[in-house]
C-alpha cells in the first residue's frame, strides 16, 4: 500500500517555462537585488529572474560548461561562485566568463574529463562545499566521486571519497549539523560540524529512504527552514518532503503533480522555489504524459515559513 501524507501545498502552474529546460537546479536567492539564480546543468546555462515578476524577468547567461551549483559572493555583485565541470570558479554575470580558482583533479586530465560538480552549499564562515560525480553521457555514475571543501583562502581538500550520486548539502540553523544527500544510496547523511575549523565528523545515516514509508523516488536537493526542518526534493517522486529534524518523521509534502523529476528547493521569502528535470533518457514520458511541466521551475507560497540563513562565499 502506498503511504499517505499530509499535503502542505500543491504546486500550481510553473512560474518559469522554457521548451529547452532540461535539468534546472541549485536555486539561490539574492535578497539585496531580488534576483533568484539557478542553473540548467546539461545546457551549460545560468538563469536569473525576479520572483515578483516571473517569466518576463527571466534572463539567460550562456556559460558553455556544466554548472552544478551557485553561490553569492560576499562583497561582489559582478560574480557568482560556481561549482562547475572542472572545479570551483567565479562566473562573471555580465559577460558569462568563467574563471576557475580550484581545479578538482589538476594532475589527471582523464578524471577532469570524466567528472563534474553536481551540488553544493556554503557554510557560515564562507567555505564552499560541493561534490563531484560522473558527467552526463559517460555512463552510469559509479562509486568514484568525492566531496570537496574550498576554503576562504582558496585551498581545496577532499573530505569524503568515494561517492556515487552526491546531491544536496545543507546546514542546521545553529550551524552544528551538516547534511549531505547521496541519491544513489537513497540516504541523507548527517555530520557533527565545527564552523571554526570546517570539520565534519561522526557520519550518521540520518534518513534512509524507504518506498513503503516515503513513496517512490530518491532524495535530491535540500533546503532548511528556520525551525531546522529538512525540505527534501524527491527525484522521480513528484514531491518535496518536509522532515522533522528531531524525530525524522514526515511532517508533510508539497505535491508537484505535473513534474516527476523534482530536483531542488530553495526558500525565497515565505515560499519555496522548486526546480525540476526533463531527463527523457531516464523516462521517455517525461515532458509529456504524466509530466507535462517537466524541467520547469515552480514557486509554492508557504505562509509563515521562512528558510534558515543561506551564506555567501568569502575570500580572504
pLDDT in tens, 250-260: 999 999 999 99
pLDDT computed for residue 139 by the predictor: 84
Q: Is 25 annotated as a binding residue?
A: yes
Amino acid 280: pLDDT: 77
Neighbours of 211 (CB within 10 A): 13
Q: Respond yes or no: is residue 192 known to be catalytic.
A: no
The reply to whether 314 falls in a domain is no
- Do the annotations mark residue 296 as ligand-binding? no
Q: Which of 40, 119, 220, 296 is the catalytic position?
A: 220
**DSSP 3-state assignment of 104?**
coil
Taken in order 15, 271, 173, 295, the sign of the CA dihedral is negative
The answer to whether the predicted template modeling score (pTM) of the entire model surpasses 0.95 is yes
Residue 311 lies in a domain: no
- According to the annotation, is 270 in a ligand binding site? no
pLDDT at 1: 60
CA 39 vs. chain centroid, Å, equals: 10
pLDDT of 220 reads 98
Cell of 238: 513528484
Residue 13 lies in a domain: yes
pLDDT of residue 140: 85
CATH number for the domain spanning 146: value is 2.120.10.30
Q: What is the pLDDT at residue 286?
A: 75
For the chain, percent of residues with pLDDT exceeding 90? 92
Q: Is 283 part of a structural domain of the chain?
A: yes
For the chain, which ranges sit under pLDDT 50?
none
Q: Which residues of 86-95 are buried (b: 16+ CB within 10 A; e: fewer)?
A: bbbbbbebee
Instruction: Work out how many domains the chain is built from and give that number.
Output: 1
Domain that holds residue 93: 7-301
pLDDT for 284: 72
Residue 124's pLDDT is 99
Amino acid at each position: 500500500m502506498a503511504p499517505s501524507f499530509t499535503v502542505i501545498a500543491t504546486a500550481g502552474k510553473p512560474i518559469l517555462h522554457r521548451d529547452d529546460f532540461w535539468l534546472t537546479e541549485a536555486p539561490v536567492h539574492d535578497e539585496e537585488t531580488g534576483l533568484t539564480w539557478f542553473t540548467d546543468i546539461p545546457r551549460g546555462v545560468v538563469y536569473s529572474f525576479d520572483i515578483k515578476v516571473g517569466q518576463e524577468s527571466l534572463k539567460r547567461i550562456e556559460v558553455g560548461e556544466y554548472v552544478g551549483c551557485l553561490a553569492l559572493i560576499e562583497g561582489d555583485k559582478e560574480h557568482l561562485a560556481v561549482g562547475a565541470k572542472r572545479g570551483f570558479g567565479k562566473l562573471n554575470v555580465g559577460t558569462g566568463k568563467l574563471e576557475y580558482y580550484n581545479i578538482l583533479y589538476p594532475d589527471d586530465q582523464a578524471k577532469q574529463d570524466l567528472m563534474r560538480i553536481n551540488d553544493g552549499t556554503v557554510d557560515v564562515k564562507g567555505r564552499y562545499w560541493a561534490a563531484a560525480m560522473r558527467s552526463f553521457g559517460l555512463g552510469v555514475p559509479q562509486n568514484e566521486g568525492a566531496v570537496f571543501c574550498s576554503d576562504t583562502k582558496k585551498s581545496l581538500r577532499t573530505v569524503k571519497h568515494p561517492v556515487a550520486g552526491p546531491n544536496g548539502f545543507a546546514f542546521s540553523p545553529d550551524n552544528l549539523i551538516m547534511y549531505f544527500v547521496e541519491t544513489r544510496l537513497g540516504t541523507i547523511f548527517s555530520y557533527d560540524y565545527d564552523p571554526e575549523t570546517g570539520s565534519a565528523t561522526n557520519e550518521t545515516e540520518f534518513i534512509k529512504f524507504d518506498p513503503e514509508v516515503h513513496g517512490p523516488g530518491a532524495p535530491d536537493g535540500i533546503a532548511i527552514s528556520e525551525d531546522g526542518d529538512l525540505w527534501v526534493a524527491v527525484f522521480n517522486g513528484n514531491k518535496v518532503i518536509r522532515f522533522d529534524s528531531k524525530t525524522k518523521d514526515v511532517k508533510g509534502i508539497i505535491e508537484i503533480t505535473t513534474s516527476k523529476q523534482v530536483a531542488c528547493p530553495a526558500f525565497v521569502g515565505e515560499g519555496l522555489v522548486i526546480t525540476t528535470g526533463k531527463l527523457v533518457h531516464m523516462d521517455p514520458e517525461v515532458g509529456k504524459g504524466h509530466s507535462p511541466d517537466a524541467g520547469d521551475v515552480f514557486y509554492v507560497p508557504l505562509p509563515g515559513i521562512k528558510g534558515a540563513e543561506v551564506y555567501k562565499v568569502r575570500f580572504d
